[in-house]
Amino acid sequence: MLGAPEPEWAGTEMASTIEIDAMQRALSLATRAEAPTHPNPRVGAVVLDAAGSIVGEGFHRGAGTPHAEIEALRDAGPSASGATVVVSLEPCNHSGRTEPCTASLLQAGVSRVVFAQTDPNPVAAGGAEVLRGAGLSVEGGVLSERARELNPIWTLAMQRQRPFVTWKVAATVDGRVAASDGSSRWITGSSARAEVHALRAQVDAVVVGTGTVLEDDPQLTARDAEGQPIERQPLRVVVGHRSIPASAKVNDDSAETLHLPSHEPTEVLEELFARDVHHTLLEGGPTLAAAFVSAGAVDRVVGYTAPALLGDGASLLGPIGVASISDAVRFAFDDVSLVDGDLRWSGRLSDVPLFTEGAR
Ligand code: AOF
Ligand code: ZN
């Protein structure tokens, strides 16, 4: 077995049935974080005494507040000494918005730590090794798949160190996004448009090119069924070198706007990630979409196809360097449905897992 990769669950001692049950509890506590924890993950923790009874529980309530382990240790009080902490994410090993959980676990005299997901955040990772090094019994990978499903967007963003990108397209059956006179309002029906507002409400940023702003003058806010802006607005991002008039609707005060004088998707995503953007909705025109697709920077595509034909006019995607059918960018549809009269479909362009709408 020399040289064999260490399995993710390798530790000092396999998790017991009681610990697995406690992990189920930790996972359900994590979902209690009703308020969005963004940009932090949803995490839950449980403290078990030597007899296997729960003596403390906690979950993370949002950036800047104590991590789940700390909440659970506080809840357990002196009972934490000699106890086992069961947590849905590997304890962090960094001083960020809060102190490292490794230090608090050691200070509390915990003797064993069981965690689910290995921390994909390079800044905070390494906690398991530190705890092992300090003599604790540590077991990882327990129900890790379920823990990842709690924070799929966060996990992907941390692994890639860039935001997850959902590309939204709305076009006719012949793939046109505008008629030959440039008119593009409205291709799809109002229900499809309402869904796009719901999509905007789920993401951290909406990205378009200067061309879209100059031609369509969109406001790019997330609005409810009554057309009123919702409370948490995504950052509006305009990319490209052309200047935008101060009177453009993206410059109104309904949400924050960032103009990035770049066409380079990698650069744009880097800039957004640095601003804690973990999920971006790409709503740009054919040129910007082509740049993102060519760069392999689209993870998921959500399409609305209207039962209409134009025969001419801009198509939804500009050239992506494909000359032959054998070079087509192919992907798998993962969903299709009717939204009033329009067709809604989605597919994954990168190797990402399936997850439910609204996942963080
Ligand atoms: C959480 N909650 O319960 C745990 C986290 O922003 P900071 O400084 O609080 O650190 C966030 C990182 O800490 C996060 O990306 C993750 O890697 C680690 N663990 N974070 O927000 C928690 N246990
Ligand atoms: Zn922590």
Indicate if the pLDDT at residue 51 is higher than 50.
Answer: yes
Nearest ligand 1 atom, CA 62: 21
Q: What is the DSSP string of 167-206?
A: EEEEEETT-BSS-TTS--TTSS-HHHHHHHHHHHHHSSEE
Query: Which residue CA neighbors atom 12 of ligand 1 most closely?
Result: 124
Catalogue the active-site residues: 69
Distance 85 CA to ligand 2 centre (A): 13
d(CA 255, CA 269): 20
pLDDT digit string, tens, across residues 188-246? 999 999 999 999 999 999 999 999 999 889 999 998 888 888 888 999 999 999 999 99
Query: Which residue CA neighbors atom 11 of ligand 1 most closely?
Result: 40
pLDDT at 4: 45
Ligand 1 in contact with 301 (CB < 6 A)? no
Number of Cβ atoms within 10 Å of the Cβ of 102: 25
In the chain, what percentage of residues exceed pLDDT 70?
93
Closest ligand (CA of 104): 2
Distance 181 CA to ligand 2 centre (A): 56
Query: Which residue CA neighbors atom 4 of ligand 1 most closely?
Result: 67
Strands 300-306 and 342-348 turn out to be antiparallel
Ligand 1 in contact with 293 (CB < 6 A)? no
Distance 6 CA to ligand 2 centre (A): 24
Indicate if the pLDDT at residue 279 is higher than 80.
Answer: yes
Nearest ligand 1 atom, CA 101: 23
pLDDT digit string, tens, across residues 123-143? 999 999 999 999 999 999 999
Name the CA dihedral angle for 246, 249, 252, 258, rounded to a multiple of 10 degrees.
Answer: -70
pLDDT digit string, tens, across residues 302-314? 999 999 999 999 9
Distance 127 CA to ligand 2 centre (A): 9
